[in-house]
């Protein structure tokens, strides 16, 4: 998934995304209605999609990480299906940490780098909102 940002008018911008659905890639422009000047453009870490259990499809998106890659927020509103990490656990780059489900699609949240998990803020069955805190690295 790639992202680029263009400013259209004062206070509005668009986010250009490439989304893959059932193996077909689509380019979409998403208009951002409110823009915090201090907010950074989210970065998405690619993860190779695999078909998930229960007929859902895995969506490639790594979560929304801060600039230091220490704090991960949810890229979607949905339900936590699986948590593969625990506080104190060492993880490799691109390791699957959390699986979210939104509208019958699974989103794999992956580690952007190797590191140690400081804390996990969700558990399976928890509902999550966009930008909700999921995982923190040391």
* pLDDT tens for each residue of 84-121: 999 999 999 889 999 999 988 899 999 888 999 999 99
Residue 63: name the closest of 12, 25, 113 by CA: 113
Are residues 66 and 107 both part of a single domain?
Answer: yes
- 27 phi and psi angles, rounded to 5 deg: -95, 130
For residue 77, give its domain range: 42-137
Predicted TM-score of the model (pTM): 0.56
* pLDDT tens for each residue of 40-67: 444 444 443 343 333 333 333 467 777 7
Are residues 33 and 74 both part of a single domain?
Answer: no
136: pLDDT strictly greater than 60? yes
Are residues 125 and 60 both part of a single domain?
Answer: yes
Are residues 75 and 49 both part of a single domain?
Answer: yes
Separation CA 7–CA 31 (nearest Å): 10
Contact between 85 and 135 under an 8 Å Cβ cutoff? The reply is: yes
User: Vertex 99, ends 97 and 19: CA angle to 5°?
Assistant: 110
Are residues 66 and 87 both part of a single domain?
Answer: yes
Lowest mean pLDDT across 36-40, 71-75, 90-94, 118-122: 36-40
CATH label of the domain that carries residue 104? 2.40.50.100
Contact between 84 and 98 under an 8 Å Cβ cutoff? The reply is: yes
Domain tally for the chain? 2
**DSSP letters spanning 46-90:** -----BPGGG-EEEE---EE-TTS-EEE-SSSEEEEEE---TT-E
Are residues 84 and 132 both part of a single domain?
Answer: yes
The mean per-residue pLDDT over the stretch 20-48 comes to 62
Tell me the β-bridge partners of 99.
Answer: 82, 108
Are residues 18 and 46 both part of a single domain?
Answer: no
């Amino acid at each position: 998934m790639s992202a680029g940002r263009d400013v259209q008018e004062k206070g509005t911008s668009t986010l250009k995304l490439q989304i893959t659905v059932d193996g077909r890639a689509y380019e979409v422009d998403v208009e951002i209605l409110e823009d915090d000047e201090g907010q950074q453009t989210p970065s998405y870490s690619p993860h190779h999609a695999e078909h998930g259990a229960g007929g859902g499809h895995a969506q490639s998106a790594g979560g929304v990480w801060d600039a230091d890659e220490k704090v991960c927020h949810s890229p979607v509103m949905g339900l936590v299906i699986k948590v593969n990490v625990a506080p104190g656990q060492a993880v490799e780059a691109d390791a699957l940490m959390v699986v979210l489900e939104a509208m019958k699609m699974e989103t794999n949240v992956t580690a952007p780098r190797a590191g140690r998990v400081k804390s996990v803020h969700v558990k399976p069955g928890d509902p999550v909102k966009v930008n909700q805190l999921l995982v923190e690295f040391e």
